[in-house]
Structure 1
Amino acid sequence: MSTYRERPAAGLDCVWERTSDHPSSGRVVPDGRTDIIRYPDGGLFVAGPDTVGHVTELGPGRVVGVRFGPGVGPAALGVPAHVLRDQRVPLAELWDDLAALEDALAGADDPGAVLADAARHRLRAAPPDPLAGAIAASVTAAPVAGLADDLGLSTRQLHRRSLHAFGYGPKTLHRVLRFDRAVKLAWTGVPFAEIAHRTGYADQAHLSREVKDLAGVPLGQLIRP
């Protein structure tokens, strides 16, 4: 049996946990976010922002993670998001002296809360780009120059700050965040044609093509239990 659950976490996107009593696999898809993950053997890794979906294989046990909101993770991790794009990196390569954190996790009933506290501590010391939230909220299919003007940036500055905060340029960021909204709606049972309309795709066929490009499988297969 395998279970997956998420819960809110102040200052972060969420804390999540996957438990299984047997080896399992799951498809990870782009969402514009970065995660810190603790595996059953105690290993700590960072999952960078993805550009395509992929299948992960997990052994039995409890996997716990914290997910940063779009544009937030790089500040806590100390590297630009594009360095982590499509990568899985040991946390020890990014954070010095993990001994205290590893000790706290080893004795914790709620390791997700311990990871969340560590992530928030890092964010207090190094806040994210103040424009990251505005970029994520405003990025659309409209010309990049218009968004740059709205934010008081040149198009080159917008592209550089987008790469640093999200791992993608503005156009790719728009594709990824729109896809993420569409998948979340699909999980709630919204009809695919309505999803296409609500998230700004030209039609359901456009939605289908984008999902297949970014996830690697059709939307119906992606949300199949």
Structure 2
Amino acid sequence: MYAERPFPGLACVWRRTTSSTAVGRVVPDGCTDIIYAAGTGEVFVAGPDTVAHVTSVRPGTLFGVRFGPGVGPSAFGVPAVELRDQRVALSELWGPSARLEDDLAAASDPCAVLAAAALARLRETPPSPLVGAITSFSGNVGDLARSLGMSTRHLHRRSLAAFGYGPKVLHRVLRFDRAVKLARDGVPFADVAHRTGYADQAHLSREVRELAGVPLGQLIRP
């Protein structure tokens, strides 16, 4: 069972409970998460993925906070590219975390504890204003670089630091994420392709297979 809820300053907070061992598939969305495994006490960071992350999920409950694209690295203190396709113990980024782990173990709402810690870090080191400019731009990368007064090479470096991807890959991932959300809402696949800017449904299908590793119908199946 998976549920998420909005949380001011973050993309969302979420909780996933699994009653038996299962295979989980996490697909790219440009986001980063801090995750607390209640059963083991582990607290770790899930970096931005470039392809589906498939793992064996043990019985128990996970609590998480999700940063929007380009936001998490400001809280973690490292460039996003260093976390790309990685799962890293939070203590490797923030140092000893015994107090946070104790607070999580005692909390009735571990998501609120994680969110408070995440937002405190973001207040200290807020994300660059470039994050919004890069995520919202949908045209040519050269035009984006010129609008920001920098070279395409410098834009690529800044994008890697914030998102873990260059601008082209970022927009590919964000488009894929929008398409998956529409499909999960019941929008016909042909309409999904049209509304998210794919050339046609076949183009959408190819992108989903490359990024998720399975067809769209299988990906959204409950």
Please state which band the TM-score falls in when normalised by the shorter chain: over 0.9
In the other structure, the counterpart of 1:161 is: 158
In the other structure, the counterpart of 2:169 is: 172
Structure 1 position 219 matched with structure 2 position 213? no
Tell me the SS of whatever aligns to 1:158: helix
Tell me the SS of whatever aligns to 2:7: coil
User: What is the total number of aligned residue pairs between the two structures?
Assistant: 221
In the other structure, the counterpart of 1:124 is: 123
In the other structure, the counterpart of 2:4 is: 6
Amino acid at match of 1:156: R
**Whole-angstrom CA distance in 1 between matches of 2:149 and 2:192:** 32
**Whole-angstrom CA distance in 1 between matches of 2:110 and 2:168:** 36
TM-score (norm 1): 0.96
**Whole-angstrom CA distance in 1 between matches of 2:91 and 2:109:** 21
Q: In the alignment, which of 22, 29, 50 is matched to residue 31 of structure 1?
A: 29
**Whole-angstrom CA distance in 1 between matches of 2:50 and 2:57:** 21
How much does 1:106 deviate? Answer: 0.9
List structure 1 runs of 4+ shifted beyond 3 angstroms: none
Q: 1:199-214 residue pairs with structure 2 within 5 A?
A: 199-214=196-211
What RMSD over aligned residues (CA atoms) do the two structures have, in Å?
A: 0.9
In the other structure, the counterpart of 1:136 is: 135
Q: Determine if contact 1:5/1:16 at 8 Å carries over to the other structure.
A: yes
**Whole-angstrom CA distance in 2 between matches of 1:143 and 1:5:** 36
Tell me the SS of whatever aligns to 1:94: helix
Q: Determine if contact 1:47/1:89 at 8 Å carries over to the other structure.
A: yes
**Whole-angstrom CA distance in 1 between matches of 2:184 and 2:218:** 11
Tell me the SS of whatever aligns to 2:121: helix
Unaligned 5+ segments in structure 2 are: none
Q: Which one is further off, 66-75 or 24-33?
A: 24-33
TM-score (norm 2): 0.97
Percent identity, aligned pairs only, is: 70
Unaligned 5+ segments in structure 1 are: none
